[in-house]
Structure 1
């Protein structure tokens, strides 16, 4: 039986991906920063709760010890993420964005992923078929950002797209250097979640499908790729 850790899993895409993975027969750990909300979500899903704040070294190290003590890990889904909107829930554009704002987004979306992957790497390497799924976004696509025909071109924010572009490169570099792993980035689509102030146009059920699909990548499946439910996404 495959054991999966999903970060940022007490709501939204993480919660729904966990639900679908459990329904497919996997053992799922919910990595949640808030233990009370996490416990409620775990009970609803029949999942295992692991308190996990991806921005905190000690929290991540403790989560590794907990999962190692319970048997190990096969699949890591790096789902935890923030968009970095203003207090009135507006997207912060180039004229308003500051280095501190960018740093805050990167701390979760980029440094948090590296922190979690570094900590869990020894555990994943013990698996016969280790898989990593990095939840990215088409907003991280440089090709789409350069095309006036793409909605990505018209997105006004700076920090979030930059963080996802960085995450895409991290995905490629880890995949190149860990050939026994299957490591891919996914684009769930514009999904109705708290992250975007519930402005998304598709359901979490729809958005989670590509996460779940790539979490179940076989040993001969792709690695170092960037995928949506419709196929490869241009870098």
Structure 2
């Protein structure tokens, strides 16, 4: 399995992001831990042996500052884990456009900002990997089929639709990278960690962060013959 010298994890100070950072560091990667709250990020980074940076994915100027620092310090980026996310709990009939925008700013537009800004660094890697942390509830097939994902499915319109949009970003980027020889070494995939016990789920999830982070790290460390443009959990392919 290939080692990745430089990895950036957004939303890395707690939960799935922190566990992902821990596991990548354990594999020998230099992990840059992005966190909106820099002090919390510093505390987590000290524990993991990572490098903390203040990073709000909705702040394009701040993302550009991090990219400039990475370019100066390392000259490339090998792994980008788009883990930062947010949720609005509201019934569909009570969900406002403002609440939808709140979710999309982080879960969709924030990811676009991260990928577009980091692309010059990712293209300098011999085998860059992008992992978009999605949700099983983003599956149109499973949702329409009545799958019980755990928790209250009636409160997910903003969150689930934003993650479905994130999955389409994954498909579109994969297709674009495949047509561009300068970007064709980049693999990008969506991953669902399952119903995990984190702050986002009020710690009601049935899976641990260790269980949820495993598949994220697997996709972040794919070999050259690994997939791209897919949607996966730790059992394999998840239907769109």
Shorter-normalised TM range: over 0.9
Aligned partners of 1:80, 1:93: CA distance in 2, in Å? Answer: 23
Equivalences, count: 228
Q: Are 2:73 and 1:75 equivalent residues in the alignment?
A: no
Equivalent residue, structure 1, for 2:214:
209
Aligned partners of 1:76, 1:41: CA distance in 2, in Å? Answer: 18
Q: Are 2:197 and 1:192 equivalent residues in the alignment?
A: yes
Equivalent residue, structure 2, for 1:230:
235
Aligned partners of 1:109, 1:24: CA distance in 2, in Å? Answer: 27
Partner secondary structure for residue 151 of structure 1: coil
Partner secondary structure for residue 43 of structure 1: helix
Aligned partners of 1:67, 1:33: CA distance in 2, in Å? Answer: 17
Aligned partners of 1:178, 1:230: CA distance in 2, in Å? Answer: 26
Aligned partners of 1:7, 1:200: CA distance in 2, in Å? Answer: 21
Equivalent residue, structure 2, for 1:32:
35
Describe the superposition over 1:96-128 as per-residue Cα deviations: whole angstroms up to 9, x where unpaired: 100000000000000000001010001101111
Aligned partners of 1:25, 1:226: CA distance in 2, in Å? Answer: 26
Describe the superposition over 1:160-219 as per-residue Cα deviations: whole angstroms up to 9, x where unpaired: 000000000000000011122110000101000001111101110000000010000112
Equivalent residue, structure 2, for 1:13:
16
Residue in structure 2 matching 1:113, options 111, 114, 125 = 111
Q: Are 2:20 and 1:23 equivalent residues in the alignment?
A: no
Aligned partners of 1:140, 1:63: CA distance in 2, in Å? Answer: 29
Aligned partners of 2:27, 2:118: CA distance in 1, in Å? Answer: 23
Equivalent residue, structure 2, for 1:88:
none
Q: Are 2:223 and 1:218 equivalent residues in the alignment?
A: yes
Structure 1 residues 150-165: aligned runs within 5 Å: 150-152=147-149, 155-156=153-154, 157-165=156-164
Aligned partners of 2:45, 2:24: CA distance in 1, in Å? Answer: 13
Let me know the Cα RMSD of the aligned residues. 1.2
Residue 159 of structure 1, CA deviation: 0.2
Equivalent residue, structure 2, for 1:167:
166
